[in-house]
Structure 1
Amino acid sequence: MASRVESYTHASDINDAVIDAFKSNEGAANTIYPFILKARDFPRDGSQLWIAHFEDNGQVTFVLSCTRGVLGDYPVFIFTTKPPTERKDITQPLGQLAQALRASVAPERVFAVFSCEAVTCEFARIWTELTGIDVEREYYRATFSYCTAATFTPSSQLRPLPENRDLAIWLGPANESHTAKVAELCHKFAATSVSNYIDKWHSH
């Protein structure tokens, strides 16, 4: 059996193998999987699209999401189960994802792509070749990382702490009490990132 892609227009229709792939890679899937869990209760209004790539052995290697939320259209997110050492031979599966996406949405719907660097760059190249829409410049670069109690280095060892402040550093899982502060930081980022990019674009 050859490799294939499957498209889903509602979260409740997504193949169990895809969900299992998310569960086995929750850290890497955190840009897609939580939304899918919520979207199971959404109406079937055509605003959601997920495309999964299956190898010939049935293994899920990529999942692309092209969805809409309360803030409007979201960027395209691409999740992969491939570890960094296996991200060289990705043109064929990403080409299949791009073809399936192009059959479902207008080219301009893909205004940003989020994934690991190798996947993002190759998908952008394929999308440009497929649609003629060129990627002029990188919008911004983000890094996904994490630390544990074993790898955490107190900031006092890296730089002086501000004077006259009673600071305490505590490392642990996030909980609901952090929601308001995280929302504030996210709002500040969203409010400045677009305007900064537009200003830089106009200055060139």
Structure 2
Amino acid sequence: MCSSDQVWLSCVSRNNGIVTVDMVLSCTENEMGKYPIFIVPTQPVSRWSSQSLSVRLKALAEALRDSVPQERVYSIFAPEIVVSLFSQLWSDLVGIGINEKPYYAARLLSCANVIPTPSSLPPSATCRLAVTADTTAIAKLCKGFSDESEPFVLGRNEAFKEASLLISKQQVWVYCVSEEITCIAAFTRNTSNMATITKVYTRPSCRGRGYARHLVREVTRHLLRSGRREVVLYVAHNNASAARVYESVGFVEPDPAVEVGHSVNWIEVGFDRNYVDLGHW
């Protein structure tokens, strides 16, 4: 499927007359900007040999080259082995170098059941859906999150726009202490069966107090009660404290050998910024 702003590509194989979708690639954007290229295998990549995987990824790379300008492809986010092969294939096709340092390297965690806990919120604290009056406070936290997410740094106006969008779409919750917002959790890229928590950020002066744990727990409960089968998120390999928070709520590593599309280790690799147009996610 292809439009001027949204491109979806699939790699299919045929065996004894049966057509199987092996991978899906998305090249899309939203109001904040262009997303990285996402590549999701529909089965564990371990089932393919390196050569079979390379053949499939080369076909996707060639189709992508024919579908979008090469400067649109500023980074790739996918399971590690997929990124390793695809980024080199793409670089060879278009002649744009690969950045040595990944933008992001993380584990995928999934939660289908929140771990019961006897603890409750402190008397002065609340977890709730954000409202329009929260826009300025949330914008400051969106700005703080982006400042720690180089190279995807937002200006103040862009952070305000992001906060406004999240609130209007009812995709952000807040943790308040004495009515002051100290932590946010946003969930975007959602489907009817699955939600993705994409942003958790606590004001630096308020960290280490369990605010994020309470908020992620409540947001995950809310998303599961809304009919989703699971909630997923990514946690950076170098963020052990965040991993402990998520695991205490009930997030675990999916078994990539049995769960379709669920490779554990994901990575985002960028291309030479002199030749691409950086997006935002």
Matches of 1:146 and 1:128 in 2, distance apart?
Answer: 32
Report the Cα offset of residue 177 of structure 1.
Answer: 3.5
Is 2:35 aligned against 1:79? no
Structure 1 match to 2:63: 100
Per-residue deviation, residues 63-118 of structure 1 (Å, max 9, x unmatched):
11111210111111111112142254310111000001001222221111111111
Structure 1 match to 2:150: 194
Which structure shows the bigger proportion of residues in strand conformation?
2
SS of the equivalent of 2:104 reads coil
Aligned counterpart for 1:65 among listed residues 11, 26, 32: 26
CA 184–148 in structure 1, closer or farther in 2 if over 3 Å, else same: farther
Matches of 1:182 and 1:149 in 2, distance apart?
Answer: 28
SS of the equivalent of 1:146 reads strand
**TM-score, normalised via structure 2 length:** 0.41
Is 2:13 aligned against 1:9? no
Matches of 1:115 and 1:106 in 2, distance apart?
Answer: 20
Residue correspondences, number: 138
SS of the equivalent of 2:67 reads coil
Report the Cα offset of residue 184 of structure 1.
Answer: 8.0
Which structure shows the bigger proportion of residues in helix conformation?
1
CA 142–73 in structure 1, closer or farther in 2 if over 3 Å, else same: same
Structure 1 match to 2:6: 48
Matches of 2:148 and 2:10 in 1, distance apart?
Answer: 33
Structure 2 match to 1:144: 108
Structure 2 match to 1:30: none
Further displaced range: 90-99 or 133-142? 133-142
Is 2:88 aligned against 1:125? yes
Per-residue deviation, residues 101-139 of structure 1 (Å, max 9, x unmatched):
001222221111111111111111111111111212211
SS of the equivalent of 1:127 reads helix
Further displaced range: 57-66 or 187-196? 187-196
Q: Percent identity?
A: 32
CA 195–77 in structure 1, closer or farther in 2 if over 3 Å, else same: closer
Paired AA for residue 9 in structure 1: C
Further displaced range: 82-91 or 176-185? 176-185
Report the Cα offset of residue 142 of structure 1.
Answer: 2.1
Matches of 1:64 and 1:79 in 2, distance apart?
Answer: 6
Structure 2 match to 1:26: none
Matches of 2:84 and 2:46 in 1, distance apart?
Answer: 16
Per-residue deviation, residues 20-63 of structure 1 (Å, max 9, x unmatched):
xxxxxxxxxxxxxxxxxxxxxxxxxx111111111113100111
Paired AA for residue 21 in structure 2: V
Matches of 2:141 and 2:110 in 1, distance apart?
Answer: 18
Matches of 1:153 and 1:125 in 2, distance apart?
Answer: 45
Paired AA for residue 64 in structure 1: L
Paired AA for residue 53 in structure 1: C
Matches of 1:185 and 1:61 in 2, distance apart?
Answer: 39
Report the Cα offset of residue 178 of structure 1.
Answer: 7.7
Paired AA for residue 41 in structure 2: T
Matches of 2:78 and 2:138 in 1, distance apart?
Answer: 22
Matches of 2:45 and 2:138 in 1, distance apart?
Answer: 29
Matches of 1:182 and 1:61 in 2, distance apart?
Answer: 39
CA 196–63 in structure 1, closer or farther in 2 if over 3 Å, else same: closer
